[in-house]
Amino acid sequence: MSDFLKGFREREYQQDKEYLHETQCPFCSMQCKMNLHEDRSKQKTRYKITPLKSDPVSEGRLCPKGLFSYKHALSSSRLRTPLLKVDDSFVPVSWEKAYHWLSQKIISFQVKYGKNAMSVYGSGALTNEKAYLLGKFSRVALETKYIDYNGRFCMSSAAGASNQAFGVDRGLTNPLREIQDAECIILAGANIAECQPTIMPYFRKAKASGAKIIVIDPRETLTSKVADLHLKVKPGMDAALVNGMLKIIVDEDYVNHSFLQKSVEGGRELLSFARSIDLDEVERITGVAKNQIIEAARLYGRATTGMVFTARGAEQHAGGVNTVRNFINLVLMTGKIGKHGCG
């Protein structure tokens, strides 16, 4: 923390008191709510995290990241000054010297190659304020048109696909508590047990009520352990795999024709496309046996309610938008959207 901020904080908080801050974990999309205890009654300020029981999403759960990752910020081995490479080794320098060195380098690049020679890459982990400042820094200070962030190759695929299909950005279409009422759940490239562990109990509840869980992932993960059917697709072949499932859904007629007619533009084209798919070819390129593709399509197609979750495994591809669109086609074809336990 800079001296300025430290001074500000010292003025805000009295040294001899204990504080409880209601906040939320910043480390994944679940944003689980938590209490940050700040004990300033001892010589050295102590911190502790406890879950906020009233959080309707996490239902009062926190994973190890939420409970303990704040300790990184307090670690005594964190760098506290810039390091400049001199004769192949790093030496600590003042912030003034670091800023001067950096600005001279940037100016020399831009004089030689133009303003756009510099690009800026941010992160989804930045706060709104930092993201805003980074944008200003790029456009006003550097005057470069190149600014991007890791989301481009991440959840943007889901956003793009949802925009194309529904006209709105991504997001869950149903409350998490409805997961337990889905008869079939497809987790495509979504390793919930390791990446968003605090919502895993929703899936366990669904399983306990008899839901069938299909995991699509080349790897064996903690999530695949709860699967009834694990499709170990070759990396990058998820879109083809869904097309194989679509074919079975059409051939064996698990299609919700009235929904398709009433609510889906291009439904007829989708049907004839699905019929034209060659299942042998799908088996060959995805590495998933035909009988498994058929079983997955039957489980999802025959269920009266069902949900599909895609995540980075299906989205982080050059054609990630199309892959997610294919999963959305599965949902649209069977009309499993816009009602309880579907989405």
- Interface contacts to ligand SF4, rule CB under 6 A: 25, 27-28, 30-32, 58, 62-63, 65-66, 196-198
Q: Please state, in angstroms and rounded to a whole number, the distance separating the CA atoms of residues 309 and 189.
A: 8
In the complex with ligand SF4, the residue whose CB is nearer, 33 or 212, is: 33
In the complex with ligand SF4, the residue whose CB is nearer, 66 or 267, is: 66
Which two structure tokens, joined as six digits, stand for 289?
A: 């046996």
Which two structure tokens, joined as six digits, stand for 41?
A: 């009654």
Helix%, strand%, coil% for the chain, nearest 5? 50, 15, 35
Nearest approach, Cβ of residue 69 and ligand SF4 (Å): 7
**DSSP calls for 250-297:** HHTT---HHHHHHH-TTHHHHHHHHHT--HHHHHHHH---HHHHHHHH
Nearest approach, Cβ of residue 29 and ligand SF4 (Å): 7
Q: Please state, in angstroms and rounded to a whole number, the distance separating the CA atoms of residues 31 and 127.
A: 13
Spatial CB neighbours of 306, under 8 Å, sequence gap ≥ 6? 182, 183, 184, 185, 186, 300, 334, 336, 341, 342
In the complex with ligand SF4, the residue whose CB is nearer, 195 or 255, is: 195
In the complex with ligand SF4, the residue whose CB is nearer, 199 or 321, is: 199
Nearest approach, Cβ of residue 196 and ligand SF4 (Å): 5
Side chain identity, residue 62:
L
Which two structure tokens, joined as six digits, stand for 253?
A: 């007629």
Nearest approach, Cβ of residue 66 and ligand SF4 (Å): 2
Nearest approach, Cβ of residue 235 and ligand SF4 (Å): 25
In the complex with ligand SF4, the residue whose CB is nearer, 201 or 287, is: 201
Q: Please state, in angstroms and rounded to a whole number, the distance separating the CA atoms of residues 38 and 14.
A: 11
**DSSP calls for 21-63:** EEEE--SSTT--EEEEEEE-SSSS-EEEEEE-TT-TTTTT---
Nearest approach, Cβ of residue 56 and ligand SF4 (Å): 13
The CB-nearest residue to ligand SF4 is 66
In the complex with ligand SF4, the residue whose CB is nearer, 201 or 236, is: 201
